[in-house]
Structure 1
């Protein structure tokens, strides 16, 4: 945790991945993030993976460092409290992150009537307001037809919610950008971030759409081949799979030296009349001729023999490993200062990450776990909305808050 955003108050009304991720990133940079949910939890409160006691590890992970308020959003009084929280006064407040519908009780025009300089970042599925989630947007973009083995026509959904995560990060950037504009006298605004637009724009930024427009067809699936360069998994004599990547001329030369196949590759270059050292695209074009040379070199040695030579030679490579093995990897989890073992609301203690970026000039603060649902209801109603204790007690008695 860092304190770059210390003093900012962000209110979050959300569920699932994208909007909670935005709030998480802001909290890990020091903002006070207050999340409100329905009493009993929203649609993501029991989402898998679950701990043995039924607590959602997913919810604990995405809501670290936040405060939690529980409201009955089915009632007008509960919805009014949510509106007042989103628009509560303060120079460093009036910042709202949500994935609630654009035309509901949290519509920007309704909220702006309560606070004119409100900054609202709204995650959406499709830009027209229709429902869409990461998997359905991904399917519409054509990526499942580009993913998977070349000899299998079935669509393959990747397990990483890439569009949710990109959208969450983009929303954090957009909110801070809008806040900066507000401090310069430009007022508040709503920023709508549909997963569909994030996905479509990213595909265009990476050249996928231009490629398809110009060729008339989308990229075919290629298994683990790296498109447009030389990269693929290869199997060692003892059956271990290693990923080899050679994009730059230096990476290419180091790989050939370590594998001892420079002479064979030079003979192939002479036969084809090309220079693989100067053009990564040629390595991709002629990969069917190159792969057998690399496969034979990998198959001749064990991983224990190859990997020291790779490291000594500066080869770009990586070993395929399970998540169980990754947990013992000192570069990823074990002894990584990014992680700290904390006790979570499930009652379990396990390592959790703080801010993903490291700031050498600043001291990293302790990781704060997710709250228990409704843990800060009374505190927030009192300190943010200024409600007296008698009024808060009435709201509890009538089941409006919990």
Structure 2
């Protein structure tokens, strides 16, 4: 199936988005066969081209989140650039955009205008705070989404200030939620013929993954606080081995707690009054953690891994990227791709996820040069070579 028809072939996406959340949504669709046309300002391009580490002129972050796309340069501030978008709209299924609310409307490219041109259009709108509400027009990036969404408050340990979450997961979560929304909207359109718009925000994506925190506060009035390196509700957390490796482990369920105690040489512990129920374990976990930490500290990582495997206690070394590149499980899952690049030969990047048995995704290139497909796209809209030359001369493309 690697060279066969892709499941999203025939879906055309116009990406009016930059940095991470919108482009990540777009790249997910491109990996499964959608034609994604990325629009960038002439000359400047997406800011992510200049963010993060690079080799020569190649930005690693840019290349990963824009792989497999086509590149069109277009000045959306200019009426001629806006006209090109309007000529593209009848030929696309999805528009991804992450301007502040009202910007596209000011340019005559808002939902109410574009859906008149193409009633089957799906328009996904990504912002920090959403399209409505008192903060809707405020700027924001992943850190702000995390802070406002409640996840930054929970990051770190109880004896320290909140720690900035990394990587920029509100962006990636929002891209993923938006991609799911787009696929749902396309399914609705297949059934009804009706397009729609999607309102995605960074803070709501962060808020959605705060587990039980909302119910706990709403019902009990209890604010969930930061924990420690060890879990406060059951045995679990991270411990250092004798040879300096950090290992994460967890035993939240009764049968896992029993396995952990057997491993520690205390098989009777789960039946004692202090540990026989989840509620009692939660109260008495601190008394057990010192024993667990001492057990890890007395053994090398190789000994710890072998014993955890033997007793089937969930665990993992806390992996650095060097660990990832050496790990046999990553290799067996083919999770690091060597993606073709015209300057560097190949770039190692994470593989496509999830893995589909009949129609897996694939990656054809590690991000296009700025405006690489401009002539092809405009020619398809009926612009002549002379027209394109004039647009280029005027700085529109």
Question: TM-score normalised to the size of structure 1?
Answer: 0.88
User: Which runs of 5 or more structure 1 residues have no equivalent in the other structure?
Assistant: none
Indicate conservation of the 8 Å contact 2:149/2:205, yes or no: no
Deviation readout 1:133-174 (Å, 9 max, x if unpaired): 22112112343332212222x221111222211111111111
Aligned to 2:260: 255
The secondary structure found in structure 1 opposite 2:9 is: coil
Q: Quote the Cα distance in structure 1 between the aligned partners of 2:224 and 2:242.
A: 33
Supply the distance in 2 between the matched residues of 1:342 and 1:243 (Cα, whole angstroms).
31
Checking the alignment, whether the CA contact within 8 Å between 1:121 and 1:193 is kept in structure 2 is yes
Q: 1:39 & 1:328 partners in 2: Cα distance?
A: 41
1:136 matched residue in structure 2: 144
Indicate whether 1:107 and 2:110 are aligned: yes
Deviates more, 1:7-16 or 1:95-104: 95-104
Look up the match of 1:96.
Answer: 95
Q: Structure 1 residue 308: deviation in Å?
A: 0.9
Q: CA deviation at 1:347?
A: 3.4
Match of 1:394 in 2: 390
Number of residue pairs aligned between Structure 1 and Structure 2: 385
**1:162 to 1:112, Cα distance in 2 relative to 1, 3 A:** same
SS of aligned partner of 2:326: coil
Q: Does 1:169 align with 2:176?
A: yes
Alignment counterpart, residue 34 of structure 2, candidates 10, 31, 35? 31
For 1:392, what is the secondary structure of its paired residue? helix
Give the whole-Å Cα distance in 2 for the aligned partners of 1:360 and 1:226. Answer: 37
Q: In 2, distance between residues paired with 1:202 and 1:291? A: 27
Q: Which runs of 5+ in 2 are unaligned?
A: none
Question: Which among 47, 56, 59 is matched to residue 53 of structure 1?
Answer: 56
C-alpha distance in structure 1 between counterparts of 2:154 and 2:337, whole Å = 38
TM alignment of 1:306-345, pairs within 5 A: 306-332=304-330, 334=331, 336-344=333-341
Equivalent pair of 1:353/1:367 in contact (CA under 8 Å)? no
Q: Select the residue among 207, 210, 213 that pairs with 1:208.
A: 213
Contact 2:336–2:351, Cα closer than 8 Å, also in 1: yes
The residue number in structure 2 matching 1:193 is: 200
Q: Which residue of 1 aligns with 2:368?
A: 371
- Cα 1:326–1:286 change in 2 (3 A) is same
- Cα offset, 1:22, TM superposition: 0.6
Distance (whole Å) between structure 2 residues aligned to residue 366 and residue 26 of structure 1: 11
Equivalent position of 2:13 in the other structure: 10
Task: Tell me, in whole angstroms, the C-alpha distance in 1 between the residues paired with 2:252 and 2:121.
Answer: 47
Residues 308-340 of structure 1: CA distance to partner in whole angstroms, max 9, x if unpaired?
A: 1211221211112322222211223x4642432
Distance 1:359 1:46, change over 3 A: closer
Find out whether 1:305 has 2:307 as its counterpart: no
Asked whether 1:220 is paired with 2:225, we answer yes
Q: Offset of 1:243 from its aligned partner?
A: 1.2
**Per-residue CA distance 1:209-268 (angstroms, 9 max, x = gap):** 1212334342222122335332111222333321111122232222222232324x35xx
Displacement after TM superposition at 1:4 (Å): 1.0
Name the structure 2 match of 1:178.
185
Question: Separation in 2 of the partners of 1:95 and 1:143?
Answer: 30
- What corresponds to 1:122 in structure 2? 125
Deviations 1:366-391 (A, max 9, x none): 543211110000111112x2323332
SS of equivalent to 1:61? helix
The alpha carbon displacement at 1:68 in A equals 0.4
SS in 1 for 2:353: coil
Q: Does the Cα contact within 8 Å between 2:128 and 2:144 map onto a contact in 1? A: no
3-state SS in 2 of match to 1:88 = helix
